[in-house]
Amino acid sequence: MNIYKELKELCLVPSVSGREEGIRGLIKKKIAPLADEVYIDALGNLIAVKKGSGEGASVMLCAHMDEIGFLTTFIDVDGRIRVSNVGGIGWAAASYSKVVSEKGVKGVIVPEEKVKPNDYSSSNFYIDIGAASKKEAERKVSIGEFFVVTPTVDRLLGKRICGRPLDDRIGCTVLLGIAEELFSAKNDGDIYYVFSVQEEVGCRGSKTAAFAFAPEYSLCFDVTATGDTPGCENMACRVGDGAAIKIKDSSVICHAEIVKKLVSIAEENKIKYQREILTRGGTDTSSMQLSGRGSVAGALSVPTRYIHSGVELCDLGDAEACIALGAAFVKSLSEGNR
């Protein structure tokens, strides 16, 4: 896999929470040749199944397809488009950004004049598409249509890249890489590759998917914050230091067994890793852990700076480490039965 090429292709398809049709269609084409069965559930999750022999534990591997964005709520007399946030928008980070609608209409999102950054909210932001009147704007945009900050991915030095939405198209790319690694490997238990919906608004998709097939093990792939920028909160994770094995975040305490196993596999296979404790924020890990009868749940994260901005930054080497460690973990579930 050319991880940069794959990631860039996924990033350039806008798909906010609840409107994941575009990215789901693209990922479906990519995952279908690597699985025995592919389907879309009632909530919109894309699920690919690699069937096992029935002799081992099932595992769910999950990354979310959706991204944060803006939903059109009102168009005023001068053609300005008022919006509501979808997910955790940092309004200061979003201000004066180029945006694009689901139909390809371009614009800029800006705050009202004289509003100070501390007072930024959805009520004092609007999107300017260049329309001179409400009638002109309504010919291009309808109430309920979404906008996102214009997607882009660029190379920086070394394996560093920046752009959006790396959260969580980098996780989707990792999951596709794992599916490639496991394609020719034998698995005793069923493997469920889940590309979930609506993570950014409450980890909804992963909850219903995990409930449907009750995996014994589950592993989430997402981004995490870092402690390597000036003035940031203390945190052990750094960009470029390898796959981040989650121990805890504000929504989950990962199962001690899975954390220990991931660390052991990383050390045995000389896969670069680091330990993650995230004091604010959560991922689909929590939903998978608590759904149905529960699951032995863990997560591998790609350390990412400036999350939920237009310039998210990560290191492709960390993503490659997540692919290697995730694939090795799944293989270990079958090797233990032989």
Do 116 and 253 belong together in one domain? no
Tens-place pLDDT, residues 135-146: 999 999 999 999
Give mean pLDDT, residues 181-189. 93
Tens-place pLDDT, residues 41-77: 999 999 999 999 888 899 999 999 999 999 999 999 9
How far apart are alpha carbons 53 and 113 in whole angstroms? Answer: 63
Helix %, strand %, coil % for the chain, to 5? Answer: 30, 30, 40
Do 101 and 174 belong together in one domain? no
User: What is the domain-level CATH number for residue 122?
Assistant: 2.40.30.40
Q: Is residue 195 part of a domain?
A: yes
Kindly state the tokens that stand for 205: 């998709």
Cα separations in angstroms, 56 against 327, 331, 333, 338: 16, 11, 7, 10
Q: Is residue 158 part of a domain?
A: no
Q: Is residue 317 part of a domain?
A: yes
Do 54 and 176 belong together in one domain? yes
Q: Is residue 159 part of a domain?
A: no
Do 329 and 281 belong together in one domain? yes
Residue at a domain's end among 149, 176, 192: 149
Q: Is residue 138 part of a domain?
A: yes
DSSP H helices, 192-315, are 204-213, 256-268, 285-290
Do 15 and 144 belong together in one domain? no
Do 93 and 181 belong together in one domain? no
Please pick, among 6, 199, 200, 320, the residue that the annotation labels catalytic.
199
Q: What range defines the domain where residue 120 resides?
A: 69-149
User: What is the domain-level CATH number for residue 172?
Assistant: 3.40.630.10
Helices first, then strands: H and E counts in the chain? 9, 17
Do 187 and 239 belong together in one domain? yes
Domain count, the chain: 2
User: Residue 9, Cα to own-chain centre: how many angstroms?
Assistant: 15
Kindly state the tokens that stand for 88: 């955790």
Residue 292 pLDDT more than 90?
no
Asked if 276 is an active-site residue, the reply is: no
Assessment of whether the complete model's pTM goes beyond 0.85: yes
